[in-house]
Structure 1
Amino acid sequence: MLQYNVNLEDKTVLITGVAGFIGASLAKRLLDEFRSVRIVGIDSITDYYDVSLKYERLNELKSFGERFVFVYDSITNKEVVERVFSEYHPYVVINLAAQAGVRYSITNPDAYIESNLIGFYNILEACRHSYDDGKDGVEHLVYASSSSVYGANSKIPYSTDDKVDNPVSLYAATKKSNELMAYAYSKLYNIPSTGLRFFTVYGPLGRPDMAYFGFTDKLVRGEKIKLFNYGNCKRDFTYIDDVIEGIIRVIQHAPEYNERDNNIPPYKIYNIGNNSPENLLDFVIVLQEELVRAKIFPIDYNFEEHKELVPMQPGDVFVTYADITSLEYDFDFKPITPLRVGLRAFIEWYVQFYGLCK
């Protein structure tokens, strides 16, 4: 296991995309666990999905008072990014701001270029110049990549050693570009950076565009859910608490130059996934059972009438499956939350948040 070399106490951590699912969950956990840390969060609150969820997450963070600072703006605005770095001097930067979604990238490509490429470039430049005039600068840049970078790779589980040169969506291409950009800046400017390839993150206060949330919404409204590739897909569903635990461990070890070979920059990539893909049809059965348990539906409800088997959508892949060998070896960590436990927590939150209590 790697030894931690980043101390978060009495430090400022910048989280971009702080109103997002992962961003807000991470900020809350850091503020809870590290009593003297200060979080500066930036988010533009786009309407890609229901903004009331984003404001709900921010409201939870505001309870931490002066230890949480919120900047309502976009990382695509270079002047704003420069001002945030100049004013708050972040010790650790966690870039989670991005336009998400595979299918949305097909119809709205501009959003991905602006947020995922230009926005990330602005963050990299700000990290680079944080060392100007002999300043200590950013100790560790951690950024979100995605399991989507693996594209249609036939080899499973997906390993960070695999070649990922064949993206099947613009979203995936931008995330692979982020990894290449980070590598170049680590190499040129000695910026310690770690990319995290997330696998189908789910849980309470999550994203409505994800299957578990969207299926629940549709079923509650009496609509049909579409099971792509006729339900013959597998996803490595990863519960939010496991994802946050992995991120926090990774944050605390900044990559270093290989002492034996100075050509290797301070740069790492990790998968954060459950390492146990679930068949989509089995996933839906568990979801149904938890909806019945929560008394949203009667035990004899005919779910089969509300399913539609349809072909695979452009940009989708058959399976996602994370090889987390390096995460386990370096940080002695692997996700532990079973799918049923995670879905039960989500449904219990959903019932309360949307006032469905019987």
Structure 2
Amino acid sequence: MPETHLVTGAAGFIGFHLANRLLKEGHRVIGFDSVTEYYDPVLKRRRLEILGKQEGFDFVEEALETPGALDALFSHVRPAMVWHLAAQAGVRYSLEAPESYLQSNITGTFRLLEAARAHPPRHLMLASTSSVYGANGKMPYAETDRADWQMSFYAATKKATEAMAHSYAHLYGLPTTMFRFFTVYGTWGRPDMAYFKFAERIMAGRPIDIYNHGDMSRDFTYVDDLVEGLIRLGGAVPPAPGARGAPIPGDSLSPVAPWRVVNIGNSAPVKLMDFVAALERALGRKAKYNFVGMQPGDVPATWADASLLEALVGALPRTPLEVGLRHFAEWYLMEYHKPEPVA
């Protein structure tokens, strides 16, 4: 049955894909985004243009942290589902502008939680990140593993939002699912992400920086697979204490609140140099390499244990890396690539 869904960060990479999927399923979608200049706002406007051409989409351009903005919106539209994807993203940028993370990720999420407390949705879905696992060396990462040693301020703010949301779920009975993303890639992506930067430099004939001298791996997750996981997970509302059946092995369900955290990843880490080779094939160009050391705040590897996700929603599609990068390359070359002028 069609419902009203609020998607914060609707002009962003994942928010755009999620909103697009919800619209195609016949839901009304309220997009909320401040359209910052952290990366190319023209790209964000183009995403919004695509969403705006579809029936059922409305957009509010405002910052999360603006006092009263979210509360007024919640009271007006009363969303059945809330998908909180808006955030100041990026590990490396958090070294340069940490206060923007404090405002958007902490204060902004607080404003959202307050609005949800006053006007409770059926299910509150909040984005976290695999970066919260930080210095935990156990692989693959499971939701019940310790996540206490964040390596960047970005990761620290996202871990804080998990704790904040848990407290609201406990105090006000808000059914809440936190989802930890693992290196999402695909069409209409973010220019600040490594694969996007690689594509730009490869096509321009400039060397790409290979961190930790190539000794890195990531659990790359294609955006369409991620959105499918989110849609299914939206239907898996965490039950309140006292209303639970048989426990699910490895569940992160809180003992005192209708709250859980779930990994969304491909469960198949790929070595960085293998990823670059696949991107080269997709673009039809060879890269020039500049091998450098590890960046502050970064981790050498990520690997999701997705068994809880599959226990909750069933087996998910896993787009092969070659296929996902081919889709990205086709979009990038047709829609975004700007050839440098010949001198």
Q: TM-score, normalised on structure 2?
A: 0.93
Change (3 A) 1:335 1:155: farther
Matched, 1:123 2:112: yes
Cα deviation code 1:81-139 (max 9, x no counterpart) = 11111111111111001000001001100110000000000000001111xxxxxx311
Given that residues 246 and 333 in structure 1 are in contact (C-alpha distance below 8 angstroms), is that contact kept between their aligned partners in structure 2? no
Change (3 A) 1:218 1:154: same
Distance 1:57 1:346 in 2: 15
Matching residue of 2:331: 349
2:228 partner amino acid: E
Matched, 1:271 2:263: yes
1:76 partner amino acid: E
Matching residue of 1:54: 44
Matched, 1:20 2:12: yes
Given that residues 128 and 185 in structure 1 are in contact (C-alpha distance below 8 angstroms), is that contact kept between their aligned partners in structure 2? yes
Given that residues 157 and 323 in structure 1 are in contact (C-alpha distance below 8 angstroms), is that contact kept between their aligned partners in structure 2? yes
1:78 positional shift: 2.3
Cα deviation code 1:242-277 (max 9, x no counterpart) = 000000001122111132689531001100001001
Coordinate RMSD, CA, aligned? 1.5
Given that residues 324 and 334 in structure 1 are in contact (C-alpha distance below 8 angstroms), is that contact kept between their aligned partners in structure 2? no
Matching residue of 1:4: none
Change (3 A) 1:75 1:355: closer
1:356 positional shift: 7.1
Matches within 5 A, 1:1-358: 9-33=1-25, 35=26, 37-65=27-55, 67-130=56-119, 137-259=120-242, 263-292=255-284, 297=285, 303=287, 306-354=288-336
Distance 2:267 2:298 in 1: 19
Number of residue-to-residue matches in the alignment: 330
Distance 2:282 2:61 in 1: 37
Distance 1:325 1:310 in 2: 35
Cα deviation code 1:278-315 (max 9, x no counterpart) = 000111111111111xxxx4xxx5x3xx2011000000
Given that residues 174 and 258 in structure 2 are in contact (C-alpha distance below 8 angstroms), is that contact kept between their aligned partners in structure 1? yes
- Structure 1 residue ranges, 4+ long, deviating more than 2 angstroms after superposition: 258-264, 354-357
1:221 partner amino acid: A
Given that residues 239 and 258 in structure 2 are in contact (C-alpha distance below 8 angstroms), is that contact kept between their aligned partners in structure 1? yes
Identity over aligned pairs, percent: 47
Cα deviation code 1:149-198 (max 9, x no counterpart) = 00021100000010100000000001100110011000000000000000
Change (3 A) 1:323 1:60: same
5+ unaligned residues in a row in structure 1: which ranges? 1-8, 131-136
Given that residues 183 and 267 in structure 1 are in contact (C-alpha distance below 8 angstroms), is that contact kept between their aligned partners in structure 2? yes
Q: Any idea what SS the aligned residue of 2:68 has?
A: helix
2:239 partner amino acid: E
5+ unaligned residues in a row in structure 2: which ranges? 245-253
Q: Any idea what SS the aligned residue of 1:78 has?
A: coil
